[in-house]
Amino acid sequence: MVYVLKPEEVRAKYGSMFCQEFLTMVDEKAGKAKIVETCLARGPAEWDLVNRRRASGVIDQVKIEGTTLMMDVHMGEKELNFGPVSANLGGQGLKKLVVEGDTVRTTWMGIAGASVGVGACLPQARGVIRTEYPDDFKIGGGHTSTVDIITPKMVRIVIGVDDTDTKEKGATWAAALKVARDCPVGRFIDHKIIQLNPKSPTKTTNCCATAISFAVTEADVPKLIEYCRDALKKASCSTDAVMTVFQGLEVPKALRDFGWSAKSVLYTQEEARKVAEAAGVQIISLTGINGMIGAIAAVGCCDLGAEAAGVPEDFA
């Protein structure tokens, strides 16, 4: 038997805690998921990072950006590795992630003090629908606790943008950031400035494209695309602006390779279009078509980290 609490009920029972937001994005075709967890302070985020790496489970990789944890997860179930010293060190981890219709069920286990995080903190975060507790649930002390947290099933949408500016006015990175910040659909996740081949004869100034990414429910994907298209078109100063759209957590290798090589190679629009079509990237003309190569390359570079912002010689 289980009992169910909504976030506000968890908050009323345990008091306000430090987890502010909890999102689950899935890519069912790839069998992968990404969990985004935002904390009030860096200390709890660092504690969670260390504990989840220690326990492993279905978490493949976890990193921290400011006070936000980004967890790469494989879908399914795997036993946690708390180890013989867990009673002294504490421990928490993700045992299972499965899709149930339009929701995601994640099963968390915590031992000793770390059980507070999975039993009282995560369940009250924005983005959680409900948490299911076993009847014998206990928190803190030497107890081992298990909870199931239910969240909306979301997907990642990456929007590539290029050539919204002219030599006289505008900046693609700034226009895209404003559009992403003001977006009323889904949750703005990331903004990347992607420097491409500075020898391009059609560059505006620094030859930079931009990628913005969102977590959004599948039902709201058309609304998100429509908003970005209309807002970016309105923000464009040039007659060359292009927007691209990619859905998924795993950018295909051919597209990643294209994005990286576009920092040193000059491609034709036809070459770029073939790569985009093979990778499932949608190309949308905003005011023209000359920004196609950059907008496609932006998607290819969206997961490169700091390397997206430079050219190959910066990282040699």
Shared domain for 162 and 309, answered yes or no, is: yes
Q: To 5 degrees, how large is the angle CA 276–CA 260–CA 307?
A: 130
Return the percentage of the chain with pLDDT > 70, whole number: 95
| Confidence tier at 85 by pLDDT (50, 70, 90) | very low
Which distant-in-sequence residues (6+ apart) come within 8 Å of 116 by Cβ? Answer: 17, 110, 139, 140
Asked whether 282 and 242 are in contact (CB, 8 A), the reply is no
Domain count, the chain: 2
- Main-chain phi, psi angles of 249, to 5 degrees: -100, -15
Higher pLDDT among residues 314 and 15, named by residue: 15
Q: What angle do CA 154, 158, 159 make, to 5 degrees?
A: 135
- Mean pLDDT taken over the chain: 92
pLDDT at 66 over 80: yes
Does one domain contain both 140 and 179?
no
Query: Are 19 and 140 members of one domain?
Result: yes
Q: Do 80 and 58 share a structural domain? A: yes
The pLDDT, as a whole number, for residue 289 is 95
DSSP one-letter code for 63? E
Measured N-to-C along each axis, helices 269-279 and 253-261 cross at an angle, to the nearest 10 degrees, of 150
**The pLDDT value given to residue 113:** 67
Q: Would you say residue 168 has pLDDT above 50?
A: yes
Same domain, 231 and 121: no
Q: Which of 112, 136, 152 is the last residue of a domain?
A: 152
Q: Which of 173-177, 295-299, 305-309 has the lowest mean pLDDT?
A: 305-309
Please state the rounded mean pLDDT for residues 112-131: 89
Residues 160, 118 share a domain: no
Please state which of the ranges 37-41, 139-143, 270-274, 278-282 shows the lowest mean pLDDT: 139-143
Phi, psi angles (nearest 5°) of residue 282? -85, 135
Same domain? For 160 and 285 the reply is yes
* pLDDT level of residue 303 (50, 70, 90 thresholds): very high
**Has residue 294 got a pLDDT over 70?**
yes
Please indicate, yes or no, whether residues 93 and 177 belong to a single structural domain of this protein. Answer: no
pLDDT of residue 200: 85
Asked if residue 88 has pLDDT above 60, the reply is: no
* Domain stop point among 91, 121, 152: 152
State the pLDDT confidence band at 266, using cuts at 50, 70 and 90: very high
Burial class (CB in 10 A: 0-12, 13-18, 19+), 309: middle
Q: Mean pLDDT across the stretch 302-307? A: 94
- 265 phi and psi, to 5 degrees? -110, 145
Interval 282-295 mean pLDDT = 96
Q: What is the pTM of this model?
A: 0.93
Question: In terms of domains, do 203 and 95 share one?
Answer: no
pLDDT 10s digits, 218-240: 999 999 999 999 999 999 999 99
Let me know whether 98 and 200 are in one domain.
no
> pLDDT per residue over 185-205, tens digit each?
999 999 999 999 988 877 777
Q: How many whole angstroms separate alpha carbon 54 and alpha carbon 309?
A: 32
pLDDT at residue 87 tops 60: no
Q: What are phi and psi of 140, to 5 degrees?
A: 75, -175
Give the structural domain span for 249. 155-315
Q: Residue 35 above 90 pLDDT?
A: yes
Structure tokens at 247: 């859905």
Cα 61 to chain centroid distance, Å, stands at: 13
Please give the residue that has the higher pLDDT: either 53 or 139: 53
Considering the domain architecture, whether residues 128 and 57 belong to the same structural domain is answered as yes
CATH number of the domain to which 173 belongs:
3.30.70.2200
Domain end marker among 125, 152, 179: 152
- Are residues 300 and 173 located together in one domain of the fold? yes
Residue 3 and residue 137: Cα distance in Å, rounded?
10
